[in-house]
Amino acid sequence: MTTRRKFSSGEHNPATIDGISLLPDTILCHILSFLPTKSSVRTSALSKRWLSLWSYVPNLDFESEHQDIINRVTLLHKALTINTFSLIQKNDSSLINENEYQLETWIMFAVARNVKNLHLSVVSNVFLPRRLFTCETLVNLRLDDCGVVPNIGGGGVRLPRLKKLHLTYVLYEGDESISNLLSGCPVLEELVMELIWGLVRCNVTSPSIERLTLDFQSNGKGGIGNREYWVEINAPALRYLKMTNCYARDIKCGTMNSLIEADIDIYNYNDFPYSRFELEFIHRLRNVECLHLDLAHCTGFYEEIECWMEPQQVPKCLSSHLRFVRLSGVGGKQHEYEYIQYLLRNANVLERMEISPCKSIGFGDKFYMLQKISMFRRGSDACEVAFDLVQ
- The footprint of another protein (CB under 8 A) covers 2-9, 13-23, 26-27, 30-36, 38-39, 41-48, 50-51, 65-66, 69
Q: Least CB distance from residue 54 to another protein, whole Å? A: 9
Q: Least CB distance from residue 192 to another protein, whole Å? A: 17
Q: Least CB distance from residue 33 to another protein, whole Å? A: 7
Contact in structure between 164 and 189 (CB atoms under 8 Å): yes
Report the residue number, 68 or 271, with the smaller CB distance to another protein. 68
Amino acid occupying residue 344: L
Q: Least CB distance from residue 49 to another protein, whole Å? A: 8
Report the residue number, 35 or 108, with the smaller CB distance to another protein. 35
Contact in structure between 160 and 136 (CB atoms under 8 Å): yes
Q: Least CB distance from residue 69 to another protein, whole Å? A: 5
Report the residue number, 44 or 151, with the smaller CB distance to another protein. 44
CA–CA distance, 23 with 7 (Å, rounded to integer): 15
Report the residue number, 6 or 377, with the smaller CB distance to another protein. 6
- DSSP strand E in 90-178: where? 117-127, 140-149, 164-168, 171-172
> Which residues, 6 or more positions from 233, have their beta carbon under 8 angstroms from its beta carbon?
204, 205, 212, 241, 251, 252, 253, 254, 256
Q: Least CB distance from residue 307 to another protein, whole Å? A: 43
Report the residue number, 106 or 342, with the smaller CB distance to another protein. 106
Q: Is 391 exposed, middle or buried (0-12, 13-18, 19+ CB in 10 A)?
A: exposed
CA–CA distance, 144 with 19 (Å, rounded to integer): 41
CA–CA distance, 72 with 24 (Å, rounded to integer): 27
Contact in structure between 145 and 153 (CB atoms under 8 Å): no
Contact in structure between 246 and 231 (CB atoms under 8 Å): yes
Q: Least CB distance from residue 67 to another protein, whole Å? A: 12
Report the residue number, 34 or 363, with the smaller CB distance to another protein. 34
Report the residue number, 58 or 147, with the smaller CB distance to another protein. 58
